[in-house]
Structure 1
Amino acid sequence: MVLAGAGHDHDDANPSKMSSVLPRFSADSELFELVGIVNDKEMTLYLDHFADNSPVNNVQLEIEINGNKFKAKPHGEGEYEITLKEPLKPGVTAVTASIISESVTDILAAELDLHEEQNINVRNWTWKNLILWLGVVILVSLAFVHFLRKRAQRTAT
């Protein structure tokens, strides 16, 4: 008896929807690198030093999107978060980041290009479907062979 692990049982249930890559933007200067990842109304920001890629902590990070300003809250090593008022609409959106520390101030600019979700209709093949189509192909092949034999018998007589 062969048992399959979770997610590998090969039953007829529809597989879980594959995750898609979340929209993101990046901006950099001589001092900093910023990457922003958007997930609905949540935006996670990763701020690093450009020179050595080390995380930047203890700064004031302000993001401006569509004329709205958001103060980012620290969430981890070089990680910040903001919550948007509403999900961003498809299209190109300008993003400006202001970084203020005790010793330096920097402004980064980027564009976030959002596209509407597209549903791609992919046929979910199951063993039942495969066997059904294989049966149809075999029946059509047998009918064609039968037709050729009858035709050969008629021409031989």
Structure 2
Amino acid sequence: MQLLSLPSALALALVLGLAPSWALAGDGHDHGEAPAAAAGPAIPRFAATSDLFELVGVLDGQKLALYLDHAGDNSPVKEAQLEIDIAGTRVPVTRVADGEFQAALAAPLAEGVSPVTATVVAGNDTDLLAGEIDVHAAAQAHAEPTGRRNALVAGALAAVLAALALAWGLRRGRAARAQRLGGAA
């Protein structure tokens, strides 16, 4: 039985070790719609609607971005006045542009669900909107490698282990052959 040379054995081990990554499906091959991946904790937000208006608020730390649109056509409400109350505390609001407002909370919101009420005055229209904002502590999420990356890492590890096993086997085979030949190599 003839053994492979060390370079040939290492090349073979590398090819066999990386084979699992080659077996992965490429672009255009799928098994239906993939489940949505969680990107981490979502930024808290609320929505409050009525027959006249739609208000969306996005909370980033203590900064609150507010977007006010007409319910009928989603166009920004021009020249509106907006008052916000969150969890019983009035929050001062500043108009940024038509339908866009910003506010700064005096203190971070408590974890959990807080009621939100908004009073909108736009021309002759006045409305009271109600909603809730759900705030949770930011979970520390550690991104895990994707399946393709896992396969590449596993393939590389298998290649290294196979190369080490082959090198060990070759060394052992040479030592055994040398012993059979009486110590001469």
Q: Above 0.5 in TM-score?
A: yes
Q: Which has the higher contact order (CA 8 A, sep 6+)?
A: 2
Unaligned runs of 5+ residues in structure 1 are 1-17, 149-157
Aligned to 2:49: 28
Letter in 2 for 1:55: P
Structure 1 residue corresponding to 2:133, chosen from 106, 112, 119: 112
Q: For residues 2-57 of structure 1, what are the alpha-carbon distances to aligned partners after superposition, in whole Å with 9 as ceiling and x for unaligned?
A: xxxxxxxxxxxxxxxx8964221111100000000111111111001111111112
Decide whether the 8 Å contact of 1:61 with 1:71 is kept in 2.
no
Aligned equivalents of 2:120, 2:92: Cα separation in 1: 10
For the structure 1 residues 79 and 139, does the alpha-carbon distance in structure 2 shift closer, same or farther, using more than 3 Å as the test? closer
Aligned twin of 2:93: 72
- Aligned residue among 109, 117, 133 for 1:96: 117
Specify the code of the residue in structure 2 equivalent to 1:87. P
Q: Is the 8 A contact 1:23 1:39 kept in 2?
A: yes
TM-score (norm: length of structure 2)? 0.58
Distance 1:48 1:139, change over 3 A: closer
Report how many residues are paired. Answer: 128
Task: Output the CA distance in 2 between the equivalents of 1:93 and 1:55.
Answer: 26
Give the structure with higher Rg (CA): 2
Percentage of matched positions with identical amino acids? 35
Unpaired runs of at least 5, structure 2: 1-38, 170-185
Query: Counterparts of 1:68 and 1:115 in 2: how far apart (Å)?
Result: 19
TM-superposed deviation, 1:145: 7.0
2: CA distance between counterparts of 1:102 and 1:133? 65
1:135 offset after TM fit, Å?
Answer: 5.4
- Rounded to whole Å, the distance in 1 between the matches of 2:123 and 2:153 is 70
Q: Which segment is superposed worse, 25-34 or 94-103?
A: 94-103
Is the Cα–Cα contact under 8 Å of residues 43 and 84 in structure 1 kept in the other structure?
yes
Corresponding position of 2:71: 50
The answer as to whether partners of 1:25 and 1:35 remain within 8 angstroms in 2 is yes
8 Å contact from structure 1 (residues 62, 97) kept in 2? yes
Q: Mark the CA change 1:132 to 1:72 in structure 2 (over 3 Å): closer, same or farther.
A: closer
Structure 1 residue identity aligned to 2:100:
E
CA distance in 2, matches of 1:80, 1:21: 21
SS at match of 2:143: coil
In structure 1, the residue matched to 2:107 is: 86
- Please tell me the residue identity of whatever aligns with 2:58: I
More strand as a share of residues: 1
